[in-house]
Structure 1
Amino acid sequence: MTPAWIFPEFSPVGVDLAGAEAVARYDHNQGTDPERDNALLDRLGVGPGTRLVDLACGTGSLVVEAARRGADVHGVDVGEEMLAFTRRRAADAGVDVSLHHAGFLSYELTGPPADVVTTRSALHQLPEFWKQAALLRIAGYVHAGGLLYVWDLMFSFPPAEYAEQVQRMIDELGRPDGGADGAGFTRADFEAHVREEFSTYSWILEGLIERAGFTVEEAAFPRPTHGEFVCRRR
């Protein structure tokens, strides 16, 4: 039985992605790019037999590309419509993926430990306390020496610059509300993210990762509001 005090991860904050139409729009807006997915899989050494868990797999672009390589792929998401979209994408590609209706705090990997765990644009769904819990759970099913990859909206700017940096992100990345052309999210999407979700400073997230039993081997911040960590299980 799930304790009453557990964070309600099946009721995600921010933009509502419960419907099929919303999920299809999300897939379009995020700019799915198999080339970019494969570049990441190359970096993480994913190939035949690699056991990969993609947490908050979304519409499944990464898990499908990993499955094309012969990896043992597990896609995890709290959204049933996300999993349905991923299932169709995998069927269209002619590959097999294992899909799990679960989240950071409820997923349990059975069988051998994972070689690689990825999570992109998702850890911000959890407040700091629950980010730490999620990272500890991940560390429990990644073998020693295995990899964790995190990409997210995170803040590497000096805290005193928060107002101007957030506004700059919204002005530069947010397409006009109601604009339907091209990929990308609207100004209102970014505003809701900052207001309602739980993106945090990169140095806080790095500390949580280290305390969960990982060593950060690579960190990159292509924008002051976005970044990635490549981490190895100690």
Structure 2
Amino acid sequence: MAESWMFREFCPVGVDLGSAEAVEGYDLNQGTDQARDRALLQRLGVGPGVRLIDLACGTGSFVVEAALAGAEAHGVDVSEQMLRYTLRRADAAGVTVALHHAGFLGYRHAGPSADVVTTKSALHQLPDFWKQTALLNIAGYLKPGGLLYIWDVIFTFPPAEYERHLRHFVDAFGRADGFTREDFETHIREEFSTYAWILEGMLDRAGFDIIGSDFPRPTHGELLCRRRHE
């Protein structure tokens, strides 16, 4: 049983995606890009015999592509609606994925350790203290030498310039035909995106070496990490 002081992963922060209608809209806004998913899977060496865990799998496009590539694919999400959508997507694709109703903090992996763990646009749901806890948890079920891939809203701008960059973040990404200005304002106000240098320190303390990074914008980026051998 979880301690009463644990962060409440099943209580959403920011934009509420608990309804079927909200999940449908999320899938449309995020955009399913099979070519992009396949390119990332290839970069990570995901194929037959690889065990992959996608944390906060959302509507399942990536985890289903992993299964199509021959991997043992696990999708984890706190939203039952997201998991239902993922199951329908997997059924339509003719593949099997293992789905788990859990979050970063509560997920406990049964069976052999994972070769690859991925999470995209989700770690910001946790405050920094709990991000560190989540990374320690991931290190516990990722095999030594295994890969952790993170894509998220991660800040690389100088802290003193935050107002200019956050205004641009809202102006550039808020749009009428997808996520709105209000969605991004909510993200800044209520969610927990952090600086790259903070996240990099957390990864080091959780036992990861950063082997690659790319920050195409001062508000977004990826980190590719390898779990250190003990």
Deviation beyond 3 Å, 4+ runs, structure 1: none
Aligned to 1:99: 99
Q: Helix, strand or coil: the match of 1:41? A: helix
Q: Helix, strand or coil: the match of 1:23? A: helix
| Alpha-carbon distance between aligned partners in 2 of 1:49 and 1:63, rounded to the nearest angstrom | 15
Gap runs ≥5 in structure 2: none
| Alpha-carbon distance between aligned partners in 2 of 1:12 and 1:173, rounded to the nearest angstrom | 21
| Alpha-carbon distance between aligned partners in 2 of 1:201 and 1:188, rounded to the nearest angstrom | 22
One-letter amino acid of the counterpart of residue 165, structure 1: H
User: How many residues of Structure 1 are paired with residues of Structure 2 in the alignment?
Assistant: 228
Aligned to 1:186: 180
One-letter amino acid of the counterpart of residue 204, structure 1: I
1:72-118 C-alpha deviation (Å, 9 max, x unpaired) = 00000000000000000000000000000000000011110000000
Q: Which residues in structure 2 correspond to 1:165-184 (within 5 Å)?
A: 165-175=165-175, 179=176, 181=177, 184=178
TM-score, with length taken from structure 2: 0.98
Aligned to 2:109: 109
Aligned to 2:63: 63
Aligned to 1:163: 163
Q: Helix, strand or coil: the match of 2:39? A: helix
Q: What is the alpha-carbon root mean square deviation over aligned residues?
A: 0.6
Q: Helix, strand or coil: the match of 1:157? A: coil
1:103-158 C-alpha deviation (Å, 9 max, x unpaired) = 00000111100000000000000000000000000000000000000000010000
| Alpha-carbon distance between aligned partners in 1 of 2:204 and 2:41, rounded to the nearest angstrom | 23
Q: Which residues in structure 2 correspond to 1:31-180 (within 5 Å)?
A: 31-175=31-175, 179=176
Determine if the alignment matches structure 1 residue 211 to structure 2 residue 195: no
One-letter amino acid of the counterpart of residue 226, structure 1: H
Q: Helix, strand or coil: the match of 1:13? A: coil
Q: CA deviation at 1:207?
A: 0.7
Q: Helix, strand or coil: the match of 1:40? A: helix
TM-score, with length taken from structure 1: 0.96
Q: Helix, strand or coil: the match of 1:112? A: coil
Aligned to 1:224: 218
One-letter amino acid of the counterpart of residue 197, structure 2: W
Determine if the alignment matches structure 1 residue 10 to structure 2 residue 10: yes
Q: Helix, strand or coil: the match of 1:167? A: helix
1:29-66 C-alpha deviation (Å, 9 max, x unpaired) = 01111111111101100001110000000000000000
One-letter amino acid of the counterpart of residue 206, structure 1: E
Q: CA deviation at 1:12?
A: 1.8
One-letter amino acid of the counterpart of residue 3, structure 1: E
| Matched-pair identity in % | 68
Q: Helix, strand or coil: the match of 1:2? A: coil
| Alpha-carbon distance between aligned partners in 2 of 1:17 and 1:27, rounded to the nearest angstrom | 11
Q: Helix, strand or coil: the match of 1:198? A: coil
| Alpha-carbon distance between aligned partners in 1 of 2:48 and 2:145, rounded to the nearest angstrom | 18
Q: Helix, strand or coil: the match of 2:118? A: strand
Q: CA deviation at 1:212?
A: 0.3
